[in-house]
C-alpha cells in the first residue's frame, strides 16, 4: 500500500474542522447563544429550554463544538455549564475572515 504525502495544510484542516462543527443550525444557534452570553457560562439546561430537541441530541451538538475547540465545558454534577473557548473562537474568526477575504 502506497502512503501518499499530506496534501492539506494544518490550517486547511482546522478551517474544515471549524466548518464541520458549524455545519448544523443547532450548533450555530448554540454559538449565537453563548456569544450573546459571553460574560457568563450557560448551563446546558438553559439551552435545552430554548431548543425543540432532546437533551441527548443537544449533548451531541455540544460535544461536537467542544471537540472542535469552539466551546469549553465544566461539569458540576448534575449540571454542565458551557462557554465560548475564546482561543478557539478567535482563531476560527481569524481563519474564516482570512479565507473569505481572498481574491
The helix or strand, by DSSP H or E, that contains position 42, with its residue range, turns out to be strand 42-43
Report residue 30's pLDDT band, with 50, 70 and 90 as the boundaries: very high
Report residue 38's pLDDT band, with 50, 70 and 90 as the boundaries: confident
Please give the model's pTM, rounded to 2 decimal places: 0.87
Domain boundaries, given as residue ranges, for the chain: 10-98
Which residue did the predictor score with more confidence, 3 or 68? 68
Domain 10-98 has CATH 1.10.10.10: yes
pLDDT value at 39 more than 70: yes
- Can you give the pLDDT at residue 34? 92
- Can you give the pLDDT at residue 1? 64
- Can you give the pLDDT at residue 6? 81
pLDDT value at 42 more than 80: yes
Amino acid at each position: 500500500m502506497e502512503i501518499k504525502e499530506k496534501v492539506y495544510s494544518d490550517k486547511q484542516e482546522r478551517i474544515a474542522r471549524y466548518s464541520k462543527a458549524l455545519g448544523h443550525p443547532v450548533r450555530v444557534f448554540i454559538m449565537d447563544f453563548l456569544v450573546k452570553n459571553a460574560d457568563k457560562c450557560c448551563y446546558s439546561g438553559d439551552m435545552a429550554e430554548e431548543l425543540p430537541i432532546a437533551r441527548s441530541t443537544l449533548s451531541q451538538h455540544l460535544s461536537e463544538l467542544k471537540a472542535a475547540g469552539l466551546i469549553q465545558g465544566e461539569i458540576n454534577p448534575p449540571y454542565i455549564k458551557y462557554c465560548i473557548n475564546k482561543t478557539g473562537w478567535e482563531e476560527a474568526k481569524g481563519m474564516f475572515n482570512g479565507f473569505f477575504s481572498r481574491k
